[in-house]
Amino acid sequence: MSRGRSDSSIWLRWCLVLFAMVSALGVCGPALYWRFKKGISLRTNSHSKLSCPPCICDCPPPLSLFQVAPGLANLSVSDCGGNNPELREEMEKQFVDLLTEELKLQESVSEAHTRHMNITLAEAKRVGSQYQREADKCVAATETCEQAREQAEAKLTKERKITLVWEKRARQMGWEGE
């Protein structure tokens, strides 16, 4: 039994060693690979006869912050707006005053929006009323036309009956028709 136990513990140790090696390669492998590849490419490029000649640049040096905005270096946050009385007054206002002013501004915007919506609604009602009057006129005209059609149909039926009566009398008197 002790032999089986020692074989399994040896097997377990080898598995742990193998796992540790695979983990180490997984963590360090990519960095080593790229360093090795970079070293090979530098050696091949330095000895290669097809390498590029060195670049010659006539570019001006980059501008510094002092050259771009010369007064920017002298500014400090503490004197921000110190010379502007309106800005100084605005900065001294209390937070509550600023919130009150913001609420008043939002209220005035809301009132303007409400006025605009009321005007739009009144215009929509006016146009809707106008369309309704036009629709009523169309309905009345259609009813008038329908009544006239019915009357014309009734008169036509009456005329056909009278025509048949006269035609029947005419045949009785010897008329043979066309």
pLDDT for res 122: 95
SS3 80: coil
Give the Cα separation of 84 and 79 in Å (integer).
10
116-130: pLDDT as tens digits: 999 999 999 999 999
Domain boundaries, the chain: 82-177
pLDDT for res 81: 57
What's the distance, CA 169 to chain centroid? 85
- Residue 75's pLDDT band, with cuts at 50, 70 and 90, is low
The answer to whether 107 touches 99, Cβ cutoff 8 Å, is no
Percent helix, strand and coil across the chain, each to the nearest 5: 80, 0, 20
The answer to whether 112 touches 102, Cβ cutoff 8 Å, is no
What residue type is 113 in one-letter code? Answer: H
**For residue 36, what are its two tokens?**
């090795």
